[in-house]
């Protein structure tokens, strides 16, 4: 059956544009600025100009930040209920004007009206409803937290209003004020949203909207008045932002690109999987960060599945996005079309087969047909790069282990789909895939209650759910952190001596790698002196090679991650018990190194901290969400993998334990650089570990220069996160900067120290959150 055209009217949207004279200034402090230097906003479906928008200057950004700063205390003081009422009004107004928003979005972006009407708008409103709820509950549920302050938010063009909601709703709920920048291609719904803010009673300065290109984004990123940045967009710009904010103390969340696998097992309902694939890769013309752009289909059903898929592709309708019967609309801009064409051509050049249904493309605007590429190697550009268009690359696999390996063969880790009728297989594969979201027998499902965000180079931080709220909150205990004590110069000044040299005394503590004591690769050691200046012992001078060996050992200890949390808790208790048995010895060592009178207290606190994290090991459970679908979404707290840790100099045993214990309690393996000045209570732990059933490679210890070893950790491609807490502001900034290349998670203390005795500062969910990342597994059910 053929459908006739069913165009949606643009009358209301055009009238709104006319009402503004098709010219917009910026929205600052609840008022419009006069338009400045402008750029055109174009309808990508017919290349017609919709309006002229203002390119904000850095002075405009200053004004917006100042307005947000001035408004923040009042917004916070409004209280949870006060904010909830305003946010509820925003949700209601979004619903009330949803048709206008949907049409405007379609005009501006080129996505079909079916999607803006049925997906973007309902989800945007849902975000404000859901977060109105968190505002209401904030005092109860986040009592130990405060708003971060002024938040800078930068979004891309693929889901303009929905991304705005993902950003603004949690920020406002938590009591922050916002400077928001939409993408230059698609700013109109953000500007309409500004009007809704006034109607909803959002106080002046709470939401500020500045338009313009990447330079406006840069001005926001660099602005000293911004306390937190939330960015969604390309991995390339995400990296730049990580570098630009290194050492600034700004909180950061990045939601970046993806190359998500869509896995079809032979027992899947193939027709349902084809429909799922349509939703996964042809939704929004494939301009979706979590698009299922890599089809991995089991060899036994490959031909059958691809035949069904081609037949379905032939039926996809492409044309005017305002036509309610269209499946595929226009690409956002000719520049995207060129990029996609280039990548598809590269596949043709490499001899791949490119299938595109015979469909007529409109002559004006930017269009690209649905495309299926077969015969690509796993390393081909089309198999690795984020194409961000309606292009699917298909490959086959034979066994579940092979598909896990193929699925993870990417630098990204945003999402994955698993199609099988075998629940046991699905739930076995899902945790093995390195991705923040896994959809089982479904695709591209989103809900405000279920966190969304990436693993690896897909970024860090989550949007939605409880975890998303923490991105906009600061623990009160952070405010009470003391300045980091200065490292005693004595310990640092001693030059390294070759190990075993006739001038050295043979009391050299070795490294601890893979559960064995190992000599430093460079055969150098450094002298460690006590508080009174006397020589105590030497420790190995760790090098790049020692770190490499330690990382390798940590990777080999993957069994620790698979061990039960009960088992991990037992090992931590056992370490505590063995440490207690040698408590006096450890206390004497600490006293000799640091001169403290509190050495016994430090040992006791370390034992208690081990008990504390042993207790958490089997209690840091995830959540089961019930989003609006027939099924559940299971949010799992997964370990990060291998964490590099640089320990503080103060409280050398307690600091070490306070960082290592939470990491390993949750199943991570660690490469630890103990206190540079006082490393001996860490090297004394080797025997404690050996007698506590801690598997080799779970904790690896490399002594030496904190700066040098931190640099190696931050640049190592096989380390997932780096923590640095030795009070070196410069060193912490460097870790953040260097981590940008592979977008590692970082947790750094900067120039501030921590009261390691305080559970509020060295314990709690905030620390556990640093040691884990949330994976949401969507499991719809029913027949």
Question: Which residues here bind ligand NAI, judged by CB under 6 A?
Answer: 154-158, 181, 183-184, 213-214, 217-218, 221, 232-234, 237, 240-241, 256-257, 289, 336, 339, 386, 388
Q: Which residue is nearest to ligand NAI (CB)?
A: 217
CA distance 521 to 703: 12
Smallest distance, ligand NAI to C-beta of residue 57, A: 15
Nearer to ligand NAI, 54 or 477 (CB): 54
The first and second tokens of residue 636, run together, are 């799992």
* Shortest separation between residue 634's beta carbon and ligand NAI, angstroms: 24
- DSSP E strands in 409-449: the ranges are 415-419, 437-440
Cβ of residue 491: shortest distance to ligand NAI, in angstroms? Answer: 41
Nearer to ligand NAI, 52 or 755 (CB): 52
What number of other Cβ atoms are within 10 A of residue 550's Cβ? 33
End-to-end CA distance of the chain: 27
- Compare residues 218 and 552 and give the one whose CB is closer to ligand NAI: 218
Per-residue DSSP letter, 155: -
Catalytic residue among 255, 463, 602, 638: 255
Q: From CA 219, how far away is CA 60, in angstroms rounded?
A: 10
Minimum distance from CB of 459 to ligand NAI (Å)? 8
Residue 164's closest CA among 172, 200, 743, 659?
A: 172
Handedness of CA 344, 345, 348, 349 (dihedral sign): negative
Output phi, psi for 736, to 5 deg: -65, -40
Q: Is 255 a catalytic residue?
A: yes
Q: 3-class SS at 646?
A: strand
Taking the alpha carbons of 749, 240, 42, 209 in that order, is the dihedral positive or negative? Answer: positive
Whole-angstrom distance, CA of residue 228 vs CA of residue 221: 9
Distance separating alpha carbons of residues 646 and 674, to the nearest angstrom: 6
Report the residue number, 454 or 520, with the smaller CB distance to ligand NAI: 454
Least distance (Å) between residue 183 CB and ligand NAI: 4
Q: Where are the beta strands (DSSP E) in 347-487?
A: 353-355, 371-374, 391-397, 415-419, 437-440, 459-460, 473-475
Name the phi and psi angles at 661, rounded to 5.
-60, -45
To ligand NAI, the closest distance from the beta carbon of 508 in angstroms equals: 48
Residue with smaller CB distance to ligand NAI, 217 or 662: 217
Token pair for residue 754? 């921590």
Distance CA 191, CA 196 (A): 9
* Cα-based angle 485, 487, 491 (whole degrees, multiple of 5): 155
Q: Whose Cβ is closer to ligand NAI: residue 8's or residue 255's?
A: 255
- What's the min distance (Å) between Cβ of 453 and ligand NAI? 11
**Which of 528, 565, 512 lies closest to 683 in space, CA to CA?**
512
Question: Whose Cβ is closer to ligand NAI: residue 411's or residue 563's?
Answer: 411
Residues with catalytic roles: 255
């Amino acid at each position: 059956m053929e459908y006739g055209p069913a165009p949606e009217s643009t009358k209301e949207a055009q009238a709104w544009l006319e009402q503004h004279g098709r010219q917009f200034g910026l929205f600052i402090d609840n008022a419009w600025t006069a338009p400045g230097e402008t750029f055109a906003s174009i309808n990508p479906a017919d290349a017609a100009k919709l309006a002229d928008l203002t390119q904000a200057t850095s002075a405009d950004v200053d004004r917006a930040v100042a307005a947000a700063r001035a408004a923040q205390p009042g917004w916070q003081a409004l209280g949870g209920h006060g904010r909830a009422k305003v946010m509820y009004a925003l949700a209601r107004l979004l619903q009330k004007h949803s048709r206008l928003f949907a049409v405007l979005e379609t005009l501006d972006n080129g996505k079909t009206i079916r999607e803006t009407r049925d997906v973007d708008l309902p989800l945007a409103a849902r975000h404000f409803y859901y977060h109105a709820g968190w505002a209401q509950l904030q005092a109860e549920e986040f009592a130990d937290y405060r708003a971060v302050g002024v938040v800078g938010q930068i979004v891309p063009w693929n889901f303009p209003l929905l991304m705005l909601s993902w950003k603004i709703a949690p920020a406002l709920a938590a009591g922050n004020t916002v400077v928001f920048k939409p993408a230059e291609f698609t700013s109109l719904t953000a500007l309409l949203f500004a009007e809704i803010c006034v109607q909803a009673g959002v106080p002046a300065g709470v939401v500020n909207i500045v338009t313009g290109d990447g330079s406006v984004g840069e001005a926001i990123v660099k602005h000293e008045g911004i306390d937190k940045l939330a960015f969604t967009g390309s991995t390339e710009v995400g990296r730049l932002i990580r570098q630009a904010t290194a050492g600034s103390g700004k909180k950061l969340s990045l939601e970046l690109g993806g190359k998500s696998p869509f896995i079809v097992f032979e027992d899947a309902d193939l027709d349902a999987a084809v429909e799922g694939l349509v939703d996964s890769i042809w939704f929004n013309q494939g301009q979706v960060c979590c698009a299922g752009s890599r089809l991995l289909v089991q060899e036994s059903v490959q031909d059958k599945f691809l035949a069904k898929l081609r037949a379905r592709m032939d039926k996809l309708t492409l044309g005017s996005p305002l036509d309610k019967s269209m499946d595929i609309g226009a690409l956002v801009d000719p520049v995207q079309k060129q990029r996609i064409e280039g990548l598809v051509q590269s596949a043709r050049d490499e001899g791949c087969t490119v299938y595109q249904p015979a469909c007529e493309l409109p002559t004006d605007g930017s269009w690209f047909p649905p495309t299926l590429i077969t015969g690509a190697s796993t390393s081909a550009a089309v198999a690795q790069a984020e194409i961000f268009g309606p292009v699917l690359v298909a490959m086959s696999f034979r066994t579940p282990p092979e598909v896990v390996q193929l699925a993870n063969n990417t630098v990204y880790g945003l999402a994955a789909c698993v199609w099988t009728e075998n629940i046991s297989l699905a739930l076995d594969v899902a945790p093995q895939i390195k991705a923040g979201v896994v959809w089982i027998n479904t695709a591209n499902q989103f809900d405000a209650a279920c966190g969304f965000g990436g693993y690896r180079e897909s970024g860090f931080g989550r949007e939605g759910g409880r975890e998303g709220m923490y991105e906009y909150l600061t623990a009160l205990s952070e405010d009470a952190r003391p300045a980091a004590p200065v490292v005693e110069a004595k310990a640092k000044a001693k030059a390294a001596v070759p190990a075993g040299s006739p001038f050295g005394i043979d009391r050299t503590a070795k490294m601890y790698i893979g559960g064995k004591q190992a000599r430093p690769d460079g055969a150098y050691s450094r002298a460690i002196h006590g508080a009174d200046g006397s020589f105590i012992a030497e420790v190995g001078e760790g090098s790049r090679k020692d770190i490499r060996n330690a990382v390798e050992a940590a990777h080999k200890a993957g069994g620790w991650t698979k061990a039960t949390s009960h088992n991990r808790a037992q090992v931590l208790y056992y370490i505590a018990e063995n440490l207690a048995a040698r408590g006096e010895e450890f206390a004497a060592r600490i006293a000799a190194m640091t001169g403290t009178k509190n050495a016994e207290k430090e040992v006791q606190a370390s034992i208690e901290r081990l008990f504390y994290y042993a207790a958490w090991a089997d209690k840091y459970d995830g959540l089961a969400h019930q989003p609006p679908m027939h099924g559940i979404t299971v949010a799992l707290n997964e370990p990060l993998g291998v964490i590099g840790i640089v320990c503080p100099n103060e409280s050398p045993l307690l600091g070490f334990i306070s960082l290592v214990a939470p990491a390993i309690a949750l199943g991570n393996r660690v490469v630890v650089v103990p206190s540079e000045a006082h490393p001996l209570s860490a090297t004394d732990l080797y025997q404690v570990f050996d007698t506590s059933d801690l598997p080799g490679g779970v904790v690896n210890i490399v002594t030496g220069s904190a700066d040098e070893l931190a640099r190696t950790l931050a640049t190592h491609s096989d380390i997932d996160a780096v923590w640095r807490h030795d009070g070196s502001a410069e060193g912490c900034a460097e870790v953040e900067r260097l981590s940008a290349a592979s977008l590692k998670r970082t947790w750094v203390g900067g120039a501030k120290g921590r009261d390691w005795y305080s559970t509020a500062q060295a314990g709690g969910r905030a620390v556990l959150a640093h040691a884990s990342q949330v994976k949401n597994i969507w499991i719809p059910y029913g027949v």
